[in-house]
Amino acid sequence: MRKCMKIQYVSLILGTIGLLALCMKLLAKQTDPFLSIKYHYQYDEDNPERRVQHWPHHNYSSVASHKDENVFHFHVMFIYSLVSKKAYVKESFDACVSTLLNHSSLPLAIHIVGDIESFGLASKTLKAASFYGPVIHHDTESFPEDVQTVISSVRGAVYQKKKSKFSDTIFFLSMVMHRFLPSSVSKLILFDVDIVFQSDVKDLFSLFDDFNEKNVMGLARENQPVYRNVFWEYRKKNPGTRIGEPPPTGLTGFNSGVVLLDLDKMRRSKVYNVYLDEVRMLSSLVQKYEFQGNLGDQDLFTLISIENEELFYVLPCRWNRQLCTWWRRDEYVEIFDLYYACEGPIHLLHGNCKTDIGLPLKGTRKEN
């Protein structure tokens, strides 16, 4: 009898301890968004190498986004790497995240592509901004081998022997995002960090509804005559070409500061994927159009768009208002504003080429 009572007493104590542990775990989960739940990486300030596991091997599931307590998340991504060597990048990211979250009415899942140290800095910024959604780290040291192989092949075809500061793997990730993110993620928006939001990102996500059945991604036109210059040899031999011409009718080229990726359509599109798998097609385009770019993924998308415009939705300039005016010079002075002008309320300011964003701008060009 005493033995039975003793067993019951021990069971009661163990049960109470277990219940208290569960309560503490649930309470911690509610107060700290960076706990090691299955779709997070955990960052330990005292031990930067301590993380839950390496993407893409963790369990990440849901339709189009992860569901946490029945909340649907919208996916955004930032390239944020080697930040400790670039103080201005951290400052830009802090301002970007602050304005994104201040305006957003959506439950977001934020992806960070970069080294572990930079991810730690990003985590601190997000905590300071009281962000309580999922944060996913993509370590630049552990991308799947097949992804790296595709990027290497494409980069070699587009740039051949030419090197650029934008030739690193991370600047080509957008083109293969559909191959290393899980199939449960159907849409994602990739942002540069030198951006200030002036509107709710919800309105940007709504533009996916404007894609036609063949559009796999959306980008704004380059706001400078960059590709007029890149294709100068082809243009000289082919007067009257649309390539490099300004909006609204020219093939102006794209800027990848903001990229809307319909990952499902990218996965299904045979036309798009053949450029990744048959790189000789890219090499052929480079030779045919005497291409001489050096700006990473936007070069690839611009090149493909020459013969496959249907793959791309043209994002209104108001959602990627580029401020750089580096090309307002020499023979481009008189035509510069044909590229640079942008009418209407500006939703997102992009301080490319380290341009000071400053005060909000008013638009000047009517969208076609």
In terms of Cα–Cα distance, which of 14, 6, 356, 351 is closest to 191?
351
| Domain assignment present for 13 | no
| Domain assignment present for 48 | no
| Domain assignment present for 18 | no
Which CATH number covers residue 309?
3.90.550.10
* In 160-280, beta strands by DSSP E: 187-191, 195-197, 217-221, 254-262
CA gyration radius for the chain? Answer: 24
Q: Which residue has tokens 């709710």?
A: 200
| Domain assignment present for 41 | no
| Domain assignment present for 35 | no
Number of domains in the chain: 1
Q: In what order do the strands lie in the sheet with 135-139?
A: 135-139, 108-114, 74-79, 187-191, 254-262, 217-221, 312-315
| Domain assignment present for 343 | yes
Q: How far apart are CA 318 and CA 157, in angstroms?
A: 33
8-state DSSP, 222: P
Q: pLDDT tens, position by position, for the chain (368 residues)?
A: 554 555 555 455 555 555 555 555 444 443 333 322 223 333 334 443 333 333 332 333 222 333 444 567 999 999 999 898 888 899 999 999 999 999 999 999 999 999 999 999 999 999 999 998 999 999 988 888 899 999 999 988 888 656 666 667 888 999 999 998 999 999 999 999 999 999 999 999 999 999 999 999 999 999 999 999 999 999 999 999 999 999 999 999 999 999 999 999 999 999 999 999 999 999 999 999 999 878 889 999 999 999 999 999 999 999 999 999 999 988 999 999 999 999 999 999 999 998 988 644 444 444 43
Residue 87 near residue 126, CB atoms below 8 Å: no
| Structural domain containing residue 301 | 67-354
| Domain assignment present for 40 | no
| Domain assignment present for 223 | yes
In terms of Cα–Cα distance, which of 275, 296, 295 is closest to 285?
275
* Angle in degrees, CA 136, 154, 185, rounded to 5: 30
3-state secondary structure (DSSP) of residue 36:
coil
Strand 254-262 vs strand 217-221: parallel, antiparallel, or unpaired? antiparallel
pTM, entire model: 0.81
